[in-house]
Amino acid sequence: MAEIDQKADRLKVFLTYYHQDDQYYRDQFEELCGHSFINKSIRPGEIETNNSAEYINQLIQSGYIDNSTVVVVLLGKKTWGRKHVDWEISAGLHKKSDSLCAGLQGIILPDFPITSTSQYKLEDIPPRLADNVQTGFAEIHAWRVVCVDESIIKTIIEKAFERRISQADKVNNARPLFGKNRS
């Protein structure tokens, strides 16, 4: 556990989520374990949404995600179609100055649509995340499993951090960026 604690101190985590619907869970995530990593996320109101899409994308990449080592996607029922979520995942998957991209982790929120067998459907998550789950670069975990204990969250973030090296050949960032919201 001491090894995870030492590595977690170095981890810079960017949380991406649908701000309108899932702010509560983002706040809960940060309250539970925000002291375990350096939070590189955009705070509500930090970026003026009236700016051009290109300018916002540039700000997200250079001002926030370039310094992140793991991107955590909080998956609510409308997250799959949000352009900023897509842009933030894409920015995390771009190689950084150390020739590595950020690790990628999805967390299914309690209001996410799951099947009767407690499974999710790939079409209900952001397509770029789905591509990377299919290749083995990213993983998805349920909020009710990981967000009950800080050590569990730290472990899955650490694993995402490690996959950026061990699974770097599985990164799939080939999709064009969303031009507009899809949900």
Place of tokens 């309690």: 110
Domain that holds residue 103: 2-39+52-168
CATH number of the domain that residue 129 is part of: 3.40.50
What percent of the chain clears pLDDT 90, i.e. is strictly above it? 55
Does some domain include residue 179? no
The model's pLDDT over 107-127, given as tens digits with 9 standing for 90+, comes to 999 999 887 787 899 999 999
Q: Is residue 180 part of a domain?
A: no
Eight-class DSSP state of 44:
T
Longest dimension (CA), the chain: 45
Domain assignment present for 74:
yes
pLDDT digits (tens, 9 = 90+) for 157-170: 999 999 999 999 99
Structural domain total, the chain: 1
**52-64 mean pLDDT:** 77
Q: How far apart are CA 133 and CA 153, in angstroms?
A: 18
Tokens of 103: 């690790």
pTM for this predicted structure: 0.89
Give mean pLDDT, residues 133-146.
Answer: 94
Taking each helix axis from N to C end, the angle separating 150-166 and 19-33, rounded to the nearest 10 degrees, works out to: 100
Please provide the average confidence, as pLDDT, over all residues in the chain. 87
Q: Which residues, at least 6 apart from 144, have a Cβ–Cβ distance to it below 8 Å?
A: 110
